[in-house]
Amino acid sequence: MTSSTSRIHIFDTTLRDGEQSPGVALNHNQKIEIAHALARLGVDVIEAGFPITSDGDFECVKRISREVRGPTICGLARTARGDIERAAQALESAAKSRIHVFTSASKVQIEHMLRKTPEQVVESSVKAVQFARQFTDDVEFSGQDVMRADFDFVIRLYDAAIEAGATVINIPDTVGYGTPEEYGRLIARVRDEIVRGRPVAISTHCHDDLGMATANSLAAVENGATQIECTINGIGERAGNTSLEEVVMAIHTRRDHYRAETGLRTRELYRVSRLVSRLTGMPVQPNKAIVGDNAFAHESGIHQDGVLKHKETYEIMNAELVGREAAVMVMGKHSGRAAFRKALSDLGYVTNGTSDRGLNEDAVNALFARFKELADRKGQIYADDLRALVEAGAEVQAT
């Protein structure tokens, strides 16, 4: 890392916000398995749960704190003393612990959900952060729905939280409302008008209701955020959270642009994605960036031909870098002759042969025509289909 490159901390909340995905309930052992996988991936912080919500969540945060080494282990708490005490107990044996205290920042949430005055929200936040600091010197503070909140109130609330001892301030776009431009500008204002050079990290927490969570998190990085809160496969409340694999690979692939790095072992990404998908029962859409089945598959003849000539014609990152097998050519009606020939040779057929065992040019041409007919009828063509084509062709020649 050069001096002009900033280090972005990855705060994984798969086990807390991610588990809030409708229909998902991970059991104790499954959470522990995911926590170990996240530690292998090298995330900086694991938000392991919300200990006050149930004995199960408490026990899980406790066990993760005891067993998982490497990342900071974090527990969520409202501003109530009971929440903070419970989080602190659960985190007792963590080598590095963080208490994440949250309240609400927008008028609609303060009035209708908290049913408090803005003054009461500031006061309870200050007391909560001071109380949390009695248990750990790493306290994160969040006001839900900052994106839709009045910025004068945001300044008061967050300034008071910093004075009370918050070391990380998190700026949630709880309902996924902001555009990248707006959210980026909000983070710049937080940096210039709230943090003002004090040693406090700015964190981003975006939801994906309008499909902008990844773009918004990256806009935040461009404007001073040094922590991204995210989940594996982007799971979470409603449309989910920022997808961890997307922000990590965007920062890595476009380090020329972001001038930033995460400390993650990217080769673990695919494995963790599969694990979380299997344990949560939430399938990953095929065209999902980085971890979807099609993310490194080429179908059209023009693309396949390009990639066979030079990978960089249609590939911006190596599949191996995220722990997947090399990019695959999907054989179908859009595939061209070059990919067809390559697929035959991958299956062990010699395509420039003149002897009995090799496929000469005429044979390849005849097979290619039959392959196109089959692809029109069948869609995707698999290795067994290709073998059958070649064997049927050999029988025709022999008769």
- The residue assigned the tokens 């170990």 is 36
- Provide, rounded to whole angstroms, the least separation between the CB of residue 6 and ligand KIV: 22
State which of positions 207-226 bind ligand KIV (CB under 6 A): 207
- Provide, rounded to whole angstroms, the least separation between the CB of residue 263 and ligand KIV: 23
Torsion sign over Cα 247, 248, 249, 253 = positive
> Between residues 76 and 331, which has the closer beta carbon with respect to Zn ion?
76
From CA 65, how far away is CA 346, in angstroms rounded?
A: 48
44 is in an annotated binding site: no
Contact partner at residue 47 from Zn ion, ligand KIV, none, CB < 5 to 8 Å by partner kind: none
**What are the distances in angstroms from CA 37 to CA 14, 50, 94?**
12, 20, 17
- Provide, rounded to whole angstroms, the least separation between the CB of residue 79 and ligand KIV: 12
Query: Across-strand partners of 168?
Result: 140, 201
Per-residue tokens: 224: 């001073």
Among 17, 19, 138, 268, binds ligand KIV (CB under 6 A): 17
> Between residues 118 and 176, which has the closer beta carbon with respect to ligand KIV?
176
> Between residues 21 and 142, which has the closer beta carbon with respect to ligand KIV?
142
- Provide, rounded to whole angstroms, the least separation between the CB of residue 381 and Zn ion: 43
18 binds ligand KIV (CB under 6 A): no
User: What H or E segment, with its residue span, contains residue 278?
Assistant: helix 269-280
205 is in an annotated binding site: yes
Chain position whose Cβ is nearest to Zn ion: 17
> Between residues 100 and 333, which has the closer beta carbon with respect to ligand KIV?
100
- Provide, rounded to whole angstroms, the least separation between the CB of residue 32 and ligand KIV: 22
Among 72, 106, 136, 144, binds ligand KIV (CB under 6 A): 144
Residue 35 has phi, psi (to 5 degrees) of: -60, -40
17 binds Zn ion (CB under 5 A): yes
- Provide, rounded to whole angstroms, the least separation between the CB of residue 207 and ligand KIV: 6
Contact partner at residue 102 from Zn ion, ligand KIV, none, CB < 5 to 8 Å by partner kind: ligand KIV
> Between residues 138 and 268, which has the closer beta carbon with respect to ligand KIV?
138
> Between residues 174 and 304, which has the closer beta carbon with respect to ligand KIV?
174
Q: Any residues with CB less than 8 A from the CB of 37 and at least 6 apart, and which? A: 268, 271, 272, 275
Query: Across-strand partners of 99?
Result: 75, 139
With contacts defined by CB under 5 A, name the span among 10-18, 94-102, 212-220, 252-260 that binds Zn ion.
Answer: 10-18
Binding mask 250-269 for ligand KIV (x = CB under 6 A): --------------------
Among 142, 231, 280, 335, binds ligand KIV (CB under 6 A): 142
Local structure of 360: helix, strand or coil: coil
Binding mask 168-187 for ligand KIV (x = CB under 6 A): --x-x-x-------------
Torsion sign over Cα 67, 68, 69, 72 = negative
Per-residue tokens: 331: 């054989």
Residues 155 and 117: beta-carbon distance below 8 Å? no
From CA 211, how far away is CA 241, in angstroms rounded?
A: 10
> Between residues 17 and 138, which has the closer beta carbon with respect to Zn ion?
17
305 binds Zn ion (CB under 5 A): no
- Provide, rounded to whole angstroms, the least separation between the CB of residue 172 and ligand KIV: 3
Residues 323 and 270: beta-carbon distance below 8 Å? yes
What CA dihedral angle connects 245, 314, 340 and 358, to 10 degrees?
A: -100
> Between residues 118 and 236, which has the closer beta carbon with respect to ligand KIV?
236
In terms of Cα–Cα distance, which of 335, 340, 336 is closest to 379? 335
Q: For residue 219, how far is the Cα from the chain centroid?
A: 16
Q: Label each residue of 71-123 as H, E or C.
A: CEEEEEECCCHHHHHHHHHHHCCCCCEEEEEEEECCHHHHHHHHCCCHHHHHH
- Annotated binding-site residue numbers for Mn(2+): 17, 205, 207, 241
- Annotated binding-site residue numbers: 17, 205, 207, 241
- Residues that bind ligand KIV in the complex, under the rule CB under 6 A: 17, 102, 142, 144, 170, 172, 174, 205, 207
- Residues that bind Zn ion in the complex, under the rule CB under 5 A: 17
